[in-house]
Chain A
Amino acid sequence: MSLPRIEIQLIAATVAVACALPGTFLVLRRMALMSDAISHAILLGIVLAFFVVRDITSPFLVVAATLTGVLTVSLVELVNRTRLVREDAAIGLVFPALFSMGVILISRFAGNIHLDVDAVLLGELAFAPFTRFYVLGYDVGPRALTMMGGILIINVLFIVLFYKELKLATFDAGLAAALGFSPGLIHYGLMTLVSVTAVGAFDAVGSILVVALMIAPPAAAYLLTDRLPHMLGLSALLGVASAIIGYWLAHLLDASIAGSMATVTGILFGLTYLLAPERGLLAIARRRTRQRWEFAQTMLTIHLLNHEGLPEADEECRVDHMHEHMRWEPAFTAQVVRHAERTGLLLSQNGQLALTPQGRQVARQSMLQ
């Protein structure tokens, strides 16, 4: 593997972890779409700052764009507070307007600007290793890598330092406010993280991949665990996996790297959605089937217990009678009986059913409950 390839994967993995951490809180706080809004709206900030400093690599650009992201959040809240539109509509009104201004400014002054709307949305990871970062004349690596590394450190520090506050404000905002933590401050802190991450990632991977990496891995992790630290770790892991697999998929198809990484985050989420041990579709389906059989079995034992040893027992405990009494299809009855026999709840002889001691116990217990 050549150096640029390793570097591309390193950049992508760093972006993935940097996105997964604030993304986890976005998903938990039901603000996932803020990542979409912020990552689009920062375009305006980038363009405006560029007009002032005339240097696409200036750190001032990052600060200005980050502020635009935070401004987007406050604008959404401002529109929301008028109570004239609902929150989802407020998001849908604010960011297209800001993004449009950005696009228009770029097009109007396209001649003297090295900015491209496509690049902001889609990124060009393939070229990222060629913009180097120099410290005192030494090449310390690709600019995108050092930048995203710095942002990753900021994200980790913020989450470690304010872990308790974030956790409390996320799961019980009311309690957090009552205890004197300011939920507003935590909220804006988190939004600043999202914003700075989106800004840092925009020229490497583009805003769409930022949205994908902020939402899909945490959403998948959410289906896998109930513990916040595990969710953070799993999100980061799934993000990195998406980045690496996505890179090689793009290599194979000779297609957009950011696009294929986003696709892989979706595939990984889809797999989790199907296969997650407790919350996956398969697990849910299997649990439903098992519950259905268990319920039918229990009903059968209760029925048998009710008529056991009574004069009508011969009539009531016949296998063919279940069709009438329980409204079960004969095939279903046969299956339930076979199932119950195998688990040792009853004995079947010449179409007559009899409870075993274990079956009696099951029936009694379920009636007590």
Chain B
Amino acid sequence: MDLLELLRNLLFDYTLRTVALGAAVLGIVSGGLGSYAVLRKQSLLGDAISHAALPGIAIAFLLTGSKAPLVLILGAVIAGWLGTLGVMSIVNSTRVKDDSALGLVLAVFFGFGLVLLTFIQKMPNAAQAGLDKFLFGQAATLLERDVITMAAIGTLALLTMLMFWKEFKLLSFDPEFGASLGFPMQALDILLITLLVVAIVLGLQTVGVVLMSAMVVAPAAAARQWTDRLGIMVGLAALFGALAGVSGAVISSSTARLPTGPTIVLCISAIVLVSMVLAPNRGLIWHWVRRQRNRWRLRVEAVLGDMALLAAQHDDPGHGHSLAALRAMSQGRGGVARSLEKLERRGWVRRVSPDEWALTPNGWAAAERLLEQHEETSV
């Protein structure tokens, strides 16, 4: 499929357009709000919330008999919220740690949701079909009205986030300071978690309960690599989320039997991988380059120091010193010959014979500067 055709499909093919739009909305909302979860070390809360939402969906259906997205979303939000409350109260009032509390709520709520789902499936009511799509997500079943609901609720959640920008920033980085300024930190905490619950629930129908947690953690983790500023991080996370959503939707629609949810998750995982490797400053390559540079700087400085030591023992400053002697002094640090070449390029040493080197007057000055620096830092 060429690019033009893809673009045409994206614009005019009802299913693809709906799915891509839905996935984009999901990526933007969960990426933006997930940033706070990742910064506040609550990455896995998303996992617990998304699993906890399942019984809410089932109960909402049992009570109303309706599969309208708004009804199901409401049920899921309430259940997800109760699950979070459960985690918090277990952590706050017992010695059971957060990891156990999260895992417990996740498995128990999900198990209860399964009981309800299987119970519903055996009811003599045709309307129940399709509730199980929430398990793994079935983006293909997204309707335009679903996407409109998602977009409306998502916009509301993001607007709330922007309204409380300053407060949420305080909450994420220095809640004690915020409390001392008189902000109601606990209420803000609850509001932010509620927004996170909403973001997660919006994505359930597209990627499913099991994989939704990835959409909370991954865009934010990728965005974190590129920046140290909250505003940029939230924006980038939303962008990455949307990118993964749309590309996942397109890839899965252009290949037979490729489920959308897992494809989206693999797309965002790829973005995370690229970010971790390539991002400036924090990325692995950057890190490696910086380490190499430091290593060579140290090696060169050590050779310069050794040269100065040798030169100090001779009356003739132009006397050459053999590479072998310098190698012996380097204590296996390696790279002596290349260090000498680097020093020569700076004009600090000169080659007097094929493997003999002498310090230049400039080199002397540099070595003395280096010595002073070391003395300063050691004092």
- Give residues in A with beta carbon < 8 Å to B: 27, 30-33, 35-36, 40, 79, 82, 84-86, 88-89, 91-93, 96-97, 99-101, 103-104, 107-108, 110, 117-118, 121-122, 208-209, 211-212, 214-216, 218-219, 222-223, 249-250, 253-256, 258-263, 265-266, 269, 273, 279, 281, 284
Contacts and interface: CB of A to CB of B under 8 A. Distances in A.
B104 interface: yes
Measured as residues with beta carbon below 8 angstroms from the partner, the interface class of chain B is: 35 or more
A101 B99 CA distance: 25
A215 B96 CA distance: 10
Contacts of B259: 103-104, 107
B257 A269 contact: no
A99 B211 contact: yes
Contact of B47 (A30, A36, A214, A218): A36
A93 B96 contact: no
Interface in B153-202: none
- Nearest 3 CB-CB pairs, A to B? A262-B111, A266-B108, A259-B114
B367 interface: no
B103 A36 contact: yes
B263 interface: yes
Contact of A219 (B104, B214, B258, B282): B104
Nearest to B272: A93
Given A97-B214, A103-B136, 16 more contacts: A32-B102, A32-B104, A33-B44, A91-B43, A93-B217, A100-B265, A103-B261, A122-B114, A208-B111, A211-B103, A212-B108, A215-B103, A254-B119, A262-B110, A266-B107, A269-B108
A254 B122 CA distance: 8
A85 B273 CA distance: 12
Nearest to A39: B107
Contacts of A110: 257
B262 interface: yes
A215 B51 CA distance: 15
A218 B95 CA distance: 12
Given A215-B107, A259-B115, A284-B93, A33 B99 contact: yes
Secondary structure class of chain A's binding surface, majority of residues: helix
Interface in B102-146: 102-104, 106-119, 122, 132, 135-136
Nearest to A94: B269
Nearest to B109: A266
A259 B93 contact: no
Given A107-B257, A212-B107, A265-B107, A99 B210 contact: yes
Interface of B: 38, 41-44, 46-47, 90, 93-97, 99-104, 106-119, 122, 132, 135-136, 210-211, 213-214, 216-218, 220-221, 224-225, 257-259, 261-263, 265-266, 269, 272, 276, 282-284
B265 A266 contact: no
Given A33-B102, A82-B284, A86-B41, A96 B107 contact: no
Given A82-B284, A99-B211, A266-B112, A104 B266 contact: yes
A41 to B, nearest CB: 12
A260 B111 contact: yes
Contact of A91 (B44, B101, B136, B211): B44
A33 B103 contact: yes
A281 B95 CA distance: 12
Contacts of B111: 208-209, 212, 256, 258-263, 265-266
A279 B210 contact: no
Contacts of A92: 43-44, 46-47, 213-214, 216-218, 221
